[in-house]
Structure 1
Amino acid sequence: MTNMGKQKVQESECWQKAVLLLKTDMDCRLMVNDDNYGALQKNTPFAIELPFGAHVINVITQDGLLEKEWTQNISSKEQVVHLVCLADDYDRLRAVREAEVREPLGIECWPEGRIQQEQMLAALGAGLDPVFRDTPVTPEMVVIPAGSYRRGNANNKFKVNIVCSFAIGKYPVTVADWKYYVENSGVSYVPSDNGWEGDTLPVTNVNWYDAQNYVRWLSAHTCKTYRLLSEAEWEYASRAGTVTEYYWGDEIGHNNCNCQDSGSEWSRRSASPVGSFKPNAFGIYDMLGNVWEWLEDIWHDNYEESPTDGGAWVVGGNPLGRVMRGGSWSSFPQYARCAHRLGSVPSVRNCNFGLRLARTLP
């Protein structure tokens, strides 16, 4: 091809393209056809050169709440200007979402009598008593019915549906429970008692791997499926239908649990014997304060894309961190709230760290 011919082809190709200039009233992410253009900044014009024809344009707000898609036809070499208006629709959608999460959901609508009735029905369906032991020497378990609730802090809640009933330890795993495990499993690790005395104290100085070894042994010992709770199950069981910061109210109050400034005789001194405080509506003790409880989930910095069916979140995140919940005898009150989260390296053993069992029901 002659130089003249090449020049004409280039001019022809140039003629068949135009510039699309986008401007948005909110930060968002941009896709054009199948190409990801990343962030589109608020009030900052963004130019894209596109060939003549129809192009699918897609924008989504940074939090994923609002998405818009349209087909942009480009048929002239003149620059095409498009203003992406999101703010008004976003505000309306946000208001609807906030109204939805303010409304009681599922178990949050149940009076205490209904909660106990649902526990009875779930236990009946599993062929168990609402509170049971699989053997005379294994921990007491409480049946928790399936249901929906709003998870998270008061200003950032989202809906979760616990799709399957499950059982949870009535108390944290105790020193006596662990002694039986050591004596009957051949495990070599005996946790430090921190100089505290009492078989009814929660076991401490166990890490996530110790907890996993214990639930595996207990499953084999009983021929039942024991495991750690998911984070969603833990908060559901802890709240027991409440929407307040603690399952007894919005303030730490006096002698409701064992943490700093809670008014208990053990606060900032030691763990307390399990069952020393009033249970929640499910009949579970020590869900807040006393010891941090290891959970199954991998640590994630936020709830974005987290499961909404009650399952453990075991993909993505930081594999070097596992979630803990509940606070401990040395925690500040704000760390002993139903919604508070802690991440820890799974190999760490600490006098504040313990565990609570979950058991899958038939």
Structure 2
Amino acid sequence: MQLIYFCLIILLINSPLRVAIAETKAFQDTLQNGDPGPVMIAIRPGHFPMGDNFKVGKSYEQPVHIVHINYAFAISKFPVSFEEYDKFSQATNTKQADQYKWPRTNHPVFNVNQADAKRYARWLSEQTNQHYRLPSEAEWEYAARAGSLTQYPWGNEIGLNNAHCAGCGNASKKNQTASIGRYPANAWGIHGMIGNIWEMTADCWNYDYNNAPSDGSAWRSGDCMRLVLRGGSWGDVPSDLRSSARLRSYAKARTVNIGFRLVRENSLE
């Protein structure tokens, strides 16, 4: 069984997942007032082994299973920033997210919950006449891995100055968020999926991947009072930043270490 699984991983290295690396493209939709929307990265279809290939993480990162994403989509190049979220707040006359005592300019928004993120996505959809939403957990991992099968998108060690977390290197000393785009992008040109801020997904929490969707869709059953978070944050240790690492949080929670990015459907720009 282990030999079969190893052979499958080798085959996946030369799969459409890898082909997409050189084909990703950035674009922006336009808001009704003429301002540009968030920078999006077009992602091509592919398949990948979802979960902890190395069996070094939690039991809820198992079992590893193959996910087939047979559709194109786009994902935010950066996590949603305070500036982007403020445009929504001002346009809809809703309360701005509180940056605590930390920098606001060019930093990822936090102190927002799942309902806030969904409202922002609906507003952006109305502004652009496109369909924006939270990513599924599978879409998130597919985009974060960017063709990699290692523990992190860049390799099996956290290294220095690859991400923002507790223990991520000399450039990550402050106990607060880092500016957006401060650290290198992954192979598909996406920034900040590892570290800095936990990112919400559309999935309900489940304690393992048994019976999980294999088509890239969000898991809509389980503990739907809680949602799945991905990516790790400024206050987490490197093991929490692995591409397969996951965490649960109450969907209504607003904290200083949870933010989000969005997916746009039908996106092969």
1:133 paired with 2:28, answer yes
CA distance in 2, matches of 1:109, 1:146: 7
1:284-323, aligned counterparts within 5 Å? Answer: 284-315=190-221, 317-323=222-228
1:249 paired with 2:155, answer yes
Aligned twin of 2:46: 147
CA distance in 2, matches of 1:307, 1:225: 21
Q: Structure 2: which 5+ residue stretches go unaligned? A: 56-62
CA drift at 1:263 = 1.1
The amino acid that maps onto 2:256 is: C
Compared with structure 1, are the counterparts of its residues 95 and 247 closer, same or farther at alpha carbon in structure 2 (3 Å cutoff)?
A: closer
1:110-125, aligned counterparts within 5 Å? Answer: 114-119=19-24
Aligned twin of 2:74: 167
Q: Secondary structure at the match of 2:49?
A: strand
Q: Secondary structure at the match of 1:237?
A: helix
The amino acid that maps onto 1:132 is: F
CA distance in 2, matches of 1:359, 1:321: 23
CA distance in 1, matches of 2:245, 2:113: 20
Aligned twin of 2:106: 200
2:166–2:236 contact (8 Å) kept in structure 1: yes
Q: Secondary structure at the match of 1:172?
A: coil
Q: More strand by proportion, 1 or 2?
A: 1
> For each residue in 1:311-351, what CA deviation from the matched residue of structure 2 results, as whole angstroms up to 9, or x when unmatched?
11112x11211011000000111111100011110010000
CA distance in 2, matches of 1:234, 1:348: 20
Aligned twin of 1:13: none
Q: Structure 1: which 5+ residue stretches go unaligned? A: 1-93, 120-129
The amino acid that maps onto 2:212 is: S
CA distance in 1, matches of 2:232, 2:121: 22
Q: Secondary structure at the match of 1:234?
A: helix
Q: Secondary structure at the match of 2:29?
A: coil
1:340 paired with 2:245, answer yes
The amino acid that maps onto 2:185 is: P
Q: Secondary structure at the match of 2:226?
A: strand
CA distance in 2, matches of 1:241, 1:305: 24
The amino acid that maps onto 2:48 is: Y
2:17–2:47 contact (8 Å) kept in structure 1: no
CA distance in 2, matches of 1:146, 1:153: 21
CA drift at 1:264 = 4.4
1:353 paired with 2:248, answer no
CA drift at 1:132 = 0.9
CA distance in 2, matches of 1:257, 1:283: 15
Q: Secondary structure at the match of 2:38?
A: coil
Q: Secondary structure at the match of 2:20?
A: helix
Let me know the Cα RMSD of the aligned residues: 1.7
1:220 paired with 2:135, answer no
Specify which structure has the bigger relative contact order, considering alpha-carbon pairs within 8 angstroms and separated by 6 or more residues.
2
2:76–2:262 contact (8 Å) kept in structure 1: yes
CA distance in 2, matches of 1:117, 1:268: 35
1:278 paired with 2:187, answer no
CA distance in 2, matches of 1:132, 1:360: 13
CA drift at 1:117 = 3.9
1:107–1:115 contact (8 Å) kept in structure 2: no
CA drift at 1:110 = 6.2
Aligned twin of 2:136: 230
Q: Secondary structure at the match of 1:221?
A: helix
- Bigger CA radius of gyration: 1
Which runs of at least 4 in structure 1 moved beyond 6 Å after TM superposition? Answer: none
Give the TM-score taking structure 2 as reference length.
0.89
